[in-house]
A = this chain, B = another copy of it.
Amino acid sequence: MDLQERLRSRGYRLTPQRQLVLEAVTELGHATPEEALAWVRERASGVNVSTVYRTLELLEELSLVKHTHLSHGAPTYHAAAAPEHVHLVCRTCGDIREVEPSAVAPLVEMLAATHGFAADVGHLTVFGDCERCSS
Instruction: List residues of A whose CB falls within 8 A of some B CB.
Output: 69, 88, 90-91, 97, 99, 103-104, 106-107, 110-111, 114-120, 123-124, 126-131, 134-135
Contact = CB atoms under 8 A, between A and B. Distances in A.
B107 A117 contact: no
Given A91-B120, A118-B134, 20 more contacts: A88-B115, A97-B115, A97-B117, A99-B111, A99-B115, A103-B110, A106-B110, A115-B130, A115-B131, A116-B130, A117-B128, A117-B129, A117-B130, A118-B128, A118-B129, A118-B130, A119-B128, A120-B126, A120-B128, A124-B127
A90 B131 CA distance: 31
Nearest to A131: B116
A103 to B, nearest CB: 6
Nearest to A132: B116
List 10 tightest A-B contacts by C-beta distance, closest first.
Answer: A116-B131, A119-B128, A118-B134, A120-B128, A118-B129, A106-B106, A107-B107, A123-B127, A118-B128, A120-B127
14 contacts: A88-B115, A90-B117, A99-B115, A107-B107, A115-B130, A117-B128, A117-B130, A118-B130, A119-B126, A119-B128, A120-B126, A120-B127, A123-B128, A124-B126
A4 to B, nearest CB: 27
A68 B73 CA distance: 13
